[in-house]
């Protein structure tokens, strides 16, 4: 069981840094990820992690840059939104569609990865991690279909498979259930509040005012391993 520092991305004592392929995972997830990667390779797929473990400070940098307009804000369909057209409360919603509040990211646990098929990327193509890349005509359609059939046998599932009114669907986001299920149960609202109160997150008053809703809607409302 992870402690509070590990659950909220403020420690790295639970993760392993892999060199080939480059990936940072919870030590319990490494063998299953490599086994899944090997199985995918038998079908001509080069399954690699575009993003894996992310610590608290990195998540806060992403959040703060989006708040300040230094990174684009996207609506639920993945279309860019003009930051100037939103009030501060609406900016919180826009960020949460695609980026977790610091301390509440599943990437803190080392159990969750964003995956792509490196073998399918055309020369010069810039991967965006948008749903269109994973649908029938998308460049990662073959990977997505393979994951549909095979990921569960390696312990992985898609927590954001459907739109539940919180995080927008992310077909690239996989979670290793043996680690992430108990981690989510262990991360309490009070712990998350304490971490955010002590942080320098941009828009802190707006986040804290809505934290119970954020916790329920954006952390707890997921597609589980059996769904």
All domains in the chain, ordered by first residue: 4-220 (3.30.1380.10)
The rounded average pLDDT for each run of 10 residues, N- to C-terminus, in the chain (227 residues) is 97 97 97 98 98 98 95 84 87 93 98 98 95 95 98 98 94 98 98 98 96 97 93
* pLDDT at 1 (0 to 100): 87
13: exposed, middle or buried (Cβ count in 10 Å: 0-12, 13-18, 19+): exposed
Return the DSSP state at 81.
Answer: E
Pair of tokens at residue 94? 């826009």
- Where do the H-state alpha helices sit in the chain? 4-7, 30-41, 56-67, 88-96, 141-150, 177-186, 189-197, 204-209, 211-214
Smallest CA-to-CA distance from 216 within 40, 50, 96 is with: 96
Q: How far apart are CA 46 and CA 161, in angstroms?
A: 22
Residue with tokens 């590990």: 6
Task: Decide: 18 and 106 in contact? Cβ < 8 Å.
Answer: no
**What integer pLDDT is reported at residue 83 of this predicted model?**
86
Residue 88: predicted pLDDT: 86
HSE-CB for 143 with a 13 A CA cutoff: 26
Instruction: Classify burial at 85, counting beta carbons within 10 Å of its beta carbon; exposed 0-12, middle 13-18, buried 19 or more.
Output: exposed
pLDDT of the residue at 77: 76
Note the pLDDT of residue 144. Answer: 98
Q: According to the model, what pLDDT value does residue 186 have?
A: 98
How far does the chain reach from its first CA to its final CA, in angstroms?
Answer: 24
């Amino acid at each position: 069981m992870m402690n509070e520092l590990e659950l909220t991305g403020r420690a790295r004592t639970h993760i392993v840094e892999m060199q080939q392929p480059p990936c940072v995972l919870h030590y319990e997830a490494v063998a299953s990820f490599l086994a899944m990667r090997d199985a995918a390779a038998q079908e001509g797929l080069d399954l690699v992690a575009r993003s894996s473990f992310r610590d608290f400070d990195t998540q806060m940098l992403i959040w703060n840059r989006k708040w300040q307009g230094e990174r684009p804000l996207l609506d639920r369909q993945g279309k860019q939104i003009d930051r100037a057209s939103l009030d501060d409360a609406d900016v919180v919603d826009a960020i949460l569609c695609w980026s977790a509040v610091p301390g509440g990211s599943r990437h803190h646990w080392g159990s969750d990865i964003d995956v792509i098929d490196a073998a399918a990327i055309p020369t010069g193509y810039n991967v965006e991690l948008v749903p269109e890349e994973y649908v029938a005509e998308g460049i990662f359609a073959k990977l997505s279909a393979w994951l549909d059939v095979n990921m569960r046998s390696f312990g992985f599932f898609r927590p954001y498979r459907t739109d539940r009114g919180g995080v927008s669907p992310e077909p690239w986001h996989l979670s290793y259930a043996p680690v992430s299920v108990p981690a989510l149960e262990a991360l309490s609202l009070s712990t998350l509040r304490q971490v955010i109160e002590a942080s320098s997150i941009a828009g802190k008053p707006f986040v804290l005012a809505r934290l119970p809703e954020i916790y329920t809607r954006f952390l707890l409302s997921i597609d589980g391993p059996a769904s």
